[in-house]
Amino acid sequence: MTWIELADGVFARRYAELDQTLGLVVGGDRCLVVDTGTDEQHGADWAAAIREITPLPWTVVITHAHWDHFLGTTAFGAAPVWAHPGCLAAMESGAAEQTKTWAEKYRESGRDDLADRLLRAPVVLPDHSVPGSTDLDLGDRTVTLLHPGRGHTDHDVVVHVPDAGVVFAGDTVEQGAPPSIGADSFPLEWPGTLDVLLNLGPRTVVPGHGEPVDAGFVRGQRAELATVASLCDGVRSGSITVEEAVAHSPYSEAATRPALELGA
pLDDT in tens, 184-216: 999 999 999 999 999 999 999 999 999 999 999
Cα(98)–Cα(54) distance, rounded to whole angstroms?
A: 32
Q: Which domain holds residue 155?
A: 2-263
Using the predicted structure, report yes or no on whether residue 1 has a pLDDT greater than 90: no
| End-to-end Cα distance, the chain | 40
Mean pLDDT of 144-150: 98
Using the predicted structure, report yes or no on whether residue 91 has a pLDDT greater than 70: yes
Q: What is the pLDDT of residues 35-89, one digit of tens each?
A: 999 999 999 999 999 999 999 999 999 999 999 999 999 999 999 999 999 999 9
Going by C-alpha positions, the residue among 46, 168, 170, 73 that lies closest to residue 127 is 73
232 SS3 class: helix
Q: How confident is the model at residue 264 (pLDDT cuts 50, 70, 90)?
A: low
- The answer to whether the Cα torsion of 68, 73, 76, 79 is positive or negative is positive
CATH number where 127 lies: 3.60.15.10
Average pLDDT score, the chain: 97
Give the pLDDT score at 263.
Answer: 75
Number of domains in the chain: 1
* Cα–Cα distances in angstroms (integers) from residue 240 to residues 15, 246, 253, in the given order: 40, 10, 16
Alpha helices in the chain (DSSP H): 40-53, 85-108, 112-120, 190-198, 215-237, 242-248, 253-263
Q: What is the pLDDT of residues 210-253, one digit of tens each?
A: 999 999 999 999 999 999 999 999 999 999 999 999 999 999 99
